Copies of this chain bind each other. A is one copy, B any other.
Amino acid sequence: MKNNRFYNIGQFMEMECDYEESDVIVFGAGFDGTTSNRPGTRFASSAMRGEFYGLETYSPLLGLDLQDFNICDMGDLELSIGDTDKVLNEIYEGTKEILNDEKFPFMIGGEHLVILPAFQAISEKYNDVYVLHFDAHTDLREEYNNNKNSHATVIKRIWDITGDGKIFQFGIRSGTREEFDFALRERHTYMETHTIDTFWKIVSTLGGKNVYLTIDLDVLDPSIFPGTGTPEPGGITYRMFEQIFKILKNSNINLVGCDIVELSPDYDRSNVSTIVACKILRELSLVASHNLIKNREKKEKNKLI
């Protein structure tokens, strides 16, 4: 019997549904082993669980409330820190189980490399998956620090899986000349960071498609998001993310998974970076939940007809 005068803060507030009954599964993957600059993204999910309480469950932007959806915070994956290959496999297996149970994986990094095994599992389940990628950095190196698997190569590795024409990058403002050349040659849609128009256009062309969304939070300007490994001046504002959330909510894409990565909480002792990450988590998990239900209802309606 648990004494009901007490509460326990181990899960994201209002993300405490049973796994079985939940559609969206939130989990942490606290790996930062290939981080070449400031480490500490390993602490992102636990820092976020501590700060999430300052937010309301209701989003006035979206008109949606966490209390109306079934979301389950699974906690963090147990990882063999120190051995990159083992860690990647553990993330792969963890994501696969969630997908096998027909649920939506929402991963909190960790460095950007953690999305590689998650995306591998997703691309095995769904075919023809498109990628929406928010980031300050291209992440398109072929190799970094003598390693093929790295936070600086991860989108190149994703491209190894998807091939051309599937990845859309937004907010990029740093990389080598070679990376930018590759992005253009391969017709990745590289775009200027100061307009959201192209995001709307691209999302509208992806109606009905399977889409994976990966957000390296350093896409935000360091003024609002200093707490990351490699802050890059000139980023987008939180207000732009509000537009992005609305576009996603109203879109017809079939979101099959998403992540937010690269929060390194100890580098922002005001905790604002962590709070920003929490608010993006709230908005995106609302969008994902809402769209899952919308799509399911649509399917069922179609069946009836």
Of A4-12, A255-263, A285-293, the one with at least 4 CB within 8 A of chain B: A4-12
Q: Is A297 an interface residue (CB 8 A)?
A: no
Would A39 and B36 count as touching, CB distance under 8 A?
no
CB pair B54–A6 under 8 Å, yes or no, is no
B233 touches A276 (CB 8 A): yes
A58 within 8 A of B: yes
| A residues 129-163 touching B (CB-CB < 8 Å) | 144-147, 149-150
Q: List the number of copies, as a whole number.
A: 6
Residues in chain B near residue A267, CB distance under 8 A: 266, 270-271
Q: Is A3 an interface residue, CB under 8 A from the partner?
A: yes
- Given A60-B175, A224-B223, decide whether A146 and B8 contact each other with a Cβ distance below 8 A: no
User: CB-nearest residue of chain B relative to A225?
Assistant: B223
Residues of B within 8 A of A39 (CB): 32, 39-40, 42
> Please, which residue of chain B has its CB at the minimum distance from the CB of A58?
B177
- CB within 8 Å for A176 and B268 given contacts A9-B46, A75-B6: no
* Complex CA distance for A209 and B75, rounded to whole angstroms: 44
Q: Measured between C-beta atoms, what is the minimum distance from A177 to chain B in Å?
A: 5
Supplied contacts A3-B97, A5-B90, 4 more A-B pairs, CB within 8 Å = A5-B93, A39-B40, A80-B147, A227-B270
